[in-house]
Amino acid sequence: MAVAPDPPGPEPSASAGSFSPGPLVAAQGPPARHYPPPATHEAFWPAQATVLVAIGLQLSLPARLTAGPSWLVPALEAALLLGMFLATPHELEVEHRGRRRLALGLTAIVSAANIFSLGALTHYLLHHHVSNGRELIVSGVLIWLTNVLIFALWYWELDRGGAGMRAAGRDRAPDFLFPQMTDDSIEPRGWRPKFIDYLYVSLTNATAFSPTDTMPLTPMAKSIMGVQSLISVVTIGLIVSRAVNIL
């Protein structure tokens, strides 16, 4: 004889300790950060002041550490700086290709002159008897400060296609990851780095010989930061330490 199946039991009640599955609801986080941020002008005078200070530092170097006559490279830099000022007197609002070419050319000239000075100082240190440690320290500090200033210009002109592209709101893919880009509670969603941010990146990279709070994302950014770290290591590790021993 067939046995009838047991009748279904009562539905489980939603009492304490029991789980009643409900409809699945997709977790919704904050809306994605819009990129690029809205267009906004940027003051041009910090970059101009940086170039002027770099020229002053190079003029302070001894003549034996300069490429050619001591006035030649600073004069070329001053001419290019004048061209940049005529192209963009006060603020950056749109991309100006001529201005950017002048800025990159100026930055390359100052970088080459500073690397030449570092090489000349290193050669002098290795092949001559050095008794004036004070002059050596001053020259090393001048080269190191120029290194900080000039690479701030490199980062400023490199990131997202350059300062003009950022001012026009047509940023390319970022070359650097700033902390403000990862946490909306720190800065508003429309935050965009300014010159002071790149100057700080250059200072920390030259001091720590590596990135600190801002990470390079592209091969070009990593390469330039690596070159700056190498220059800083040679300047501080070889020259300044030797000068301290002489003193």
Q: With beta carbons less than 8 A apart as the criterion, state whether 171 and 161 touch.
A: yes
Q: Say if CB 192 and CB 40 are below 8 A apart.
A: yes
Q: Is residue 17 part of a domain?
A: no
pLDDT in tens, 109-122: 888 888 888 888 88
Range from 14-18, 68-72, 94-98, 116-120 carrying the lowest mean pLDDT = 14-18
Query: What is the band of 174 on the pLDDT scale with cuts at 50, 70, 90?
Result: very high
The single-letter code of the amino acid at 154 is W
Count CB-CB contacts under 10 A for residue 166. 25
Residue 163's pLDDT is 84
The verdict on residue 218 lying in a domain is yes
60 in a structural domain: yes
Residue 187 lies in a domain: yes
pLDDT for residue 8: 53
The yes-or-no verdict on residue 21 having pLDDT over 60 is no
**Is residue 93 domain-resident?**
yes
User: Is residue 200, in this structure, part of any structural domain at all?
Assistant: yes
Phi and psi dihedrals of 216, rounded to 5?
A: -75, 140
CA-based nearest residue to 228, from 198, 196, 195, 206: 206
pLDDT surpassing 80 at residue 50 = yes
pLDDT higher than 60, residue 147: yes
Torsion angle of alpha carbons 53, 58, 62, 64, nearest 10°?
A: 180
- Helix, strand or coil for residue 182? coil
Residues sharing a CB contact under 8 Å with residue 30, sequence separation 6 or more, in sequence order? 184
Res. 78 pLDDT band, cuts 50 70 90: confident
> pLDDT of 121-135, one tens digit each?
888 777 766 666 677
Question: For the chain, what is the mean pLDDT?
Answer: 79
Q: What is the pLDDT at residue 25? A: 44
Higher per-residue pLDDT: 165 or 155: 155
Provide the token pair at 196.
Answer: 């002071």
Q: How far is CA 237 from the centre of its chain?
A: 22
In the chain, DSSP assigns E strands to 42-43, 91-92, 176-177, 215-216
Mean pLDDT confidence for 188-206: 90
Count how many domains the chain has: 1
Expressed as residue numbers, the domain containing 176 is: 42-246
21 lies in some domain: no
Residue range 219-244, pLDDT digits in tens:
999 999 999 999 999 888 877 677 66
**Residue pair 247/241 in contact by the 8 Å Cβ criterion:** no
What is the phi/psi pair of residue 215, to 5°?
-100, 135
| pTM across the whole model | 0.80
13 pLDDT tier (thresholds 50, 70, 90) = very low
Q: Say if 30 falls within a structural domain.
A: no
Amino acid sitting at position 122: T
CA angle 53, 236, 74 (to 5 degrees): 25
Contacts of 232 (CB under 8 A, 6+ apart): 144, 147, 205, 206, 207, 209
